[in-house]
Amino acid sequence: MDTVFDAHVDSIASATGARFVHVTTAPTLRQCVRGGGVCALMVVANHVSWVDIFAINTVMPVRFVGKAEIRKWPLVGWLCARAGTLFIQRARRQDTLRVNEVVAGALRNGDVFAVFPEGTTTDGSTLLKFHSSLLEPALQARAAIQPVALRYEHEDGSLCTEAAYDGPKSVWDALTGIVSQRSVIVHVCLLPLIAPCGRDRRMLAFEAWESVNLTLFPRAPNNHTETGGDRRAAAR
C-alpha cells in the first residue's frame, strides 16, 4: 500500500514583518525489504523545488546526491552540506564514478541516500525521464528502491507552481514564490518498494519512474503499459 504524508509549508509573519517557512509532517518512517538479504535503501523522487530535500527529510532522515551548483546557493547550499549531501559534477564522468562508489559504500553501511534522477526540476505538471546512472550504487549495494512522489498544492488542491524552482527562476524567486503563498501543502507519497534482484539499472529507473508517474498523473491518457521503446526513453 502507498503511504502518503502531507507536509504543510506555511508562511509565518514574524514580529518584524519577515516571513519564514515552517514545515510540519508525520513521524519518521523507514521502510526496508527484509527478505532475500536486502536491507539497504535508496530513495528515488521527482524534483520540483529546493524544499524537496527538507520535505523528504521530515518523513525519513536521508542523505542526498545533488549537483555541485547547489553548494554555492545562499543558505540552502550550506544546509544541504550540513545534511550530508554529496555534490557531484555531472558533466565529469570520473566524478560520477567517484560519487557512485561513495554512495554504494554508504548504503552498505546503513545510510539512506536519495537521488533526483530527472537531473533537473520541473514545475510539477510533468515528469521527465529518470537517468539510470544515479541508480548504479543501488545495484552495487543490493539496495531496495523507495520511489517517492512529491506534489505541491494550494489549500484548494490545485497545483502550486509557485513553489517550483524551475526554468529561469533564481533561488530568490523560488523562495519568494513560496513565502508569498498563504499555505503550501507538500504531499510526500512513499510508494511500494522495488527490489534490485533480477533488474539492471535501466529497469530500476523505469519502474521507479512509472510508479511516480502513475501516482502524480493517474488520469493522464499516456499512463498505460509502456512498450519496450517507451521503457528505454523513460530510463536512459
> Which three-class secondary structure state does DSSP give residue 37?
helix
Alpha-carbon distance of 146 to 135, in angstroms, equals 11
Q: What are the residue ranges in the chain where pLDDT is below 70?
A: 1-38, 73-76, 90-93, 95, 220-236
| Model pLDDT for residues 132-142, shown as the tens digit of each residue | 988 999 999 99
**Torsion 131-142-113-153 (CA) sign:** positive
Kindly list the structural domains of the chain, giving each domain's residue range(s) and its CATH number in brackets, ordered by start. 3-14+22-234 (3.40.1130)
Q: b vs e for 129-156, b when ≥16 Cβ sit within 10 Å of the residue's Cβ?
A: bbbbbbbbbbbbbbbbbbbbbbbbbbee
pTM: 0.78
What is the distance in angstroms between the CA of the first residue and the CA of the last residue of the chain? 28
151 grid coordinates? 506534489
Alpha-carbon distance of 181 to 171, in angstroms, equals 16
